[in-house]
């Protein structure tokens, strides 16, 4: 019994941390991205499966676009129709300009004849009315041209909107990561924002731990840290402190005594080194339990048990 007790004491001494270090239990986490529909519709195909690694921009699902394609063809036909209307309006304007020139010439001749006493007032009034009519017809033709130009712009905007909607009907992975959940099947009708797949963003893998205020107060963003995972106890992974909460979580809510203030716990995020994460991304699994180690004294050297050791 004495020998067993001594052996246990020796193991605890090996596990004990020197001053300036702290540890806390945590688990690996990563940002979760929901790949969802932007518009309501029916799912035509889901191309990704659970556990699959996908690259940013890779197509993972498609929506049924038959109705949108029909609307697009109709909108493109309206653009052609509006352009024809514009061409017709330009031709009419040329005709109205000729009519206005002729009416002006007739009016000038009637006015000259009337001044010389060879024309009548009635003839002059008639030419003036013809000039006003020609001018009004010209103005109406210009208005028709402006309407045709506006119609072209409106229909082209509708075509652009439908093309954008067609593009949004192809669901792509926003980032490189692993598909965690398949939430919808082909043939299902989803509303706008309906979730199809859940993606784990492996570009930001981290461990969240909670440490007391006396340790968190000495930590800074970018400080070195270590992570040891329960399934791989013989390996030590390098990490950095990338987040320290500005508000503590504690019990009770109102703290008055020094003893109670020790219950204040600050959330700290330890982010795994990006190069290392990329190297072992196929082995990275969120939810793995482990222990995170932080160093509140930057001048202290890491103990031998926490020297980086990789698989």
Which residue ranges make up each domain of the chain? 19-61+180-306, 66-167
CA dist 251 and 160 (Å) reads 56
Residue 7, class by beta-carbon neighbours within 10 Å (0-12 exposed, 13-18 middle, 19+ buried)? Answer: exposed
Look at residue 153 in the predicted model and tell me its pLDDT: 94
> What percentage of the chain reaches a pLDDT higher than 70?
88
The residue with tokens 């329960």 is: 230
> What percentage of the chain reaches a pLDDT higher than 90?
34
Lowest mean pLDDT segment, chosen from 42-51, 111-120, 149-158, 238-247: 111-120
**What is the signed CA dihedral for 9, 14, 19, 24, rounded to 10 degrees?**
-100
250 confidence band (pLDDT: 50, 70, 90): low
Find the helix or strand (DSSP H, E) in which 268 lies: strand 265-272
168 confidence band (pLDDT: 50, 70, 90): very high
On whether the 19-61+180-306 domain is CATH 2.40.30.10, my answer is no
Please say whether the beta carbons of 266 and 244 come within 8 A: yes
| Nearest partner of 296 among 82, 91, 17, 1, judged by Cα | 17
| Nearest partner of 285 among 216, 214, 219, 230, judged by Cα | 230
Q: For helices 121-168 and 66-116, what crossing angle results, to 10°? A: 160
On the CB side of 232, CA atoms within 13 Å amount to 16
CB atoms within 10 A of CB 113: 15
If DSSP codes are grouped into helix, strand and coil, which group holds residue 14?
Answer: helix
Residue 33, class by beta-carbon neighbours within 10 Å (0-12 exposed, 13-18 middle, 19+ buried)? Answer: middle
Length of the chain: 311
Over residues 193-234, the pLDDT tens digits come to 999 999 988 877 888 888 888 888 888 888 889 999 888 888
Q: What is the mean pLDDT of residues 132-161?
A: 91
- One fold for both 19-61+180-306 and 66-167? no
Lowest mean pLDDT segment, chosen from 103-112, 186-195, 205-214, 235-244: 103-112
| Nearest partner of 202 among 290, 311, 289, 286, judged by Cα | 286
**What is the rounded average pLDDT for all residues in the chain?**
84
DSSP string, 96-121: HHHHHHHHHHHHHHHHHHHHHTSS-H
Phi-psi region of 7 (alpha: psi -120 to 50; beta: other; left: phi over 0): alpha
What CA–CA distances, in Å, run from 10 to 14, 15, 16, 53, 304?
6, 9, 10, 45, 16
Which CATH number fits the domain 66-167, given the four candidates 3.50.50.60, 1.20.140.10, 3.40.50.720, 1.10.287.620?
Answer: 1.10.287.620
| Nearest partner of 296 among 219, 222, 212, judged by Cα | 219
Q: What is the mean pLDDT of residues 236-243?
A: 89
CA dist 46 and 43 (Å) reads 8
Give phi and psi for 13, each to the nearest 5: -65, -35
What percentage of the chain's residues is helix, strand, coil (to nearest 5)?
A: 40, 30, 30
Distance of CA 229 to the CA centre of its chain: 33
């Amino acid at each position: 019994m004495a020998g067993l007790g001594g052996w246990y004491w020796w193991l605890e001494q090996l596990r004990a941390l020197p001053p300036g270090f702290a540890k806390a239990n945590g688990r690996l986490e990563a940002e979760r991205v929901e790949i969802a529909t932007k518009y309501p519709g029916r799912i035509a195909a889901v191309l990704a499966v659970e556990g699959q690694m996908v690259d940013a921009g890779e197509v993972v699902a498609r929506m049924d676009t038959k109705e949108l394609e029909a609307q697009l063809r109709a909108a493109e036909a309206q653009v052609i129709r509006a352009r024809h209307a514009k061409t017709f309006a330009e031709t009419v304007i040329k005709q109205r300009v000729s009519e206005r020139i002729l009416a002006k010439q007739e009016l000038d001749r009637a006015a000259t004849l009337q001044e010389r006493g060879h024309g009548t007032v009635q003839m002059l009034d008639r030419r003036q009315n013809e000039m006003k009519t020609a001018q009004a017809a010209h103005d109406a033709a210009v208005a028709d041209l402006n309407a045709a130009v506006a119609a072209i712009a409106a229909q082209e905007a509708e075509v652009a909107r439908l093309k954008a909607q067609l593009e949004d009907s192809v669901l792509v992975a926003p980032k490189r990561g692993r598909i965690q959940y398949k939430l919808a099947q082909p043939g299902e009708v989803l509303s706008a924002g309906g979730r199809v797949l859940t993606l784990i963003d492996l570009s930001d893998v981290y461990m969240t731990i909670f440490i007391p205020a006396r340790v968190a107060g000495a930590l800074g963003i970018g400080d070195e840290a270590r992570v040891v995972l329960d399934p791989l106890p013989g390996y030590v992974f390098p990490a950095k402190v990338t987040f320290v909460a500005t508000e503590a979580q504690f019990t009770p809510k109102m703290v008055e005594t020094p003893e109670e203030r020790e219950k204040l716990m600050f959330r700290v995020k330890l982010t795994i080194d990006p190069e290392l994460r990329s190297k072992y991304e196929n082995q990275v699994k969120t939810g793995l339990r482990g222990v995170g180690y932080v160093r509140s004294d930057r001048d202290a050297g890491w103990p031998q048990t926490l020297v980086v050791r990789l698989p």
